[in-house]
Amino acid sequence: NKQTNKQTNKQTNKQMSSPSPSYTTSNPPHSGPLFVATSASTRMVYNLLSCLVSPHNSKSQYAIKGNGNGLREEKRDVFVDVYVEEEGITFVEKGLGGTSQASVNIQSFVFQTYCVSLSPTSPSEFHISLTAILATLPLLSHNAMDTTSLTMSYNVDDGVFKIILEKDGVSCSVAISSSGSVDVSHDPSTSLQGIFMDEPVVARAILKSSILLSAVEEVKSVGGTGDVIVEVSPSVMVLSTKGDAGGCLVELPRSREIFSSLECFPPTNHTRVYSLSLFLTGMAALPYAHETCIQINRVGVCAVQHQVKDLVGRNCFVDFIVGCKEHSDSDSDSSDVSVSGRGCGKRYDQHPQDGFEPTQYTAVEGTEGEGW
């Protein structure tokens, strides 16, 4: 017994004297969730994520499937790439064939609590079904999401995105498995965002979202059309389309009641043609937005940015980029355009035009705070 006790004491002393592994608080190992976010209301998160899916039954949301009875259309799941950062969570939806890209950044201040555990050895991105998330959030009550509390988390170990809803003592927990991985090696220079940033901006309009929504509803009401024509000049912005039985043309004249800014470089007419279904997808955030910025670069790539305010007036941004079908600018081959394009999702300066008063949005690109 004495010998056994001596050996045990030696082993214990040796274990106590050996250095234990240490972990820094900034880069902890992933033995739990990548992030945990809680909110007293589900509404804001649901509204922001809904902006990534067109409410107008875009053809890009349908897949053609065949069976013994022939071909049929079935609504397909919409998947998003999710990027987790200390500042918030970004959801990115890429259109079929790379023809469009939509993204929404849910900043950390949207949540009551937001805890993130980033590690250089573990991925902070994942790929998941947005359709499943949007179907889960209103499960307890679609009309009472304002009073339904929400907890979201993602576990890297098992790849499960977990949603917990609570209302009036009733709790609902849903686990959604991630699907595949995010292509972090994708070359941004070949993406739509890279193409937009590489070419100079020729037209920029910042206007009230409610007025733009009314114009888009008029264009959408025309049946049998597949394209929309966007025309921007220093004095007016025009949306038009032509269908099987008629057409529609909506003019938005330059005025303080409509625009915060309307600029063209050079100051001439710039006309582009876009797929109507993709254009409507880019306008999905209009019902929730306060102001909308539309920028078109020299090769016709259109970047749309919606400013959506949370319950206390802080700004979140919904971005959309789409390529044009064709363009008809008379100055498209001009090489003296000096205004450089700016990436979608960036804040930017506004320069008051003749007849315009300086707007309240004066934040410099890359700075935090109110405005664009």
pLDDT tens by residue, 121-164: 778 899 999 999 999 999 998 889 999 999 999 998 899 999 99
pLDDT tens, 75-109?
Answer: 678 899 999 999 999 999 988 777 889 999 999 99
Q: Kindly write down the DSSP assignment for every residue of 109-157, as one continuous string.
A: GGSSEEEE---TTS-SEEEEEHHHHHHHTTSS-STTGGG-EEEEEEETT
Residue 97: which region, alpha, beta or left (left: phi > 0; alpha: psi -120 to 50)?
left
What's residue 114's pLDDT? 96
Amino acid at 80: V
What confidence category does residue 229 fall into, taking pLDDT thresholds of 50, 70 and 90? very high
- 104-129 burial code (b ≥16 CB/10 A, e <16): bbbbbebbeebebbeeeeeebbbbbb
Amino acid at 194: G
Of the spans 23-32, 316-325, 332-341, which averages the highest pLDDT? 316-325
Tokens read off for 235: 């004095």
What confidence category does residue 367 fall into, taking pLDDT thresholds of 50, 70 and 90? very low
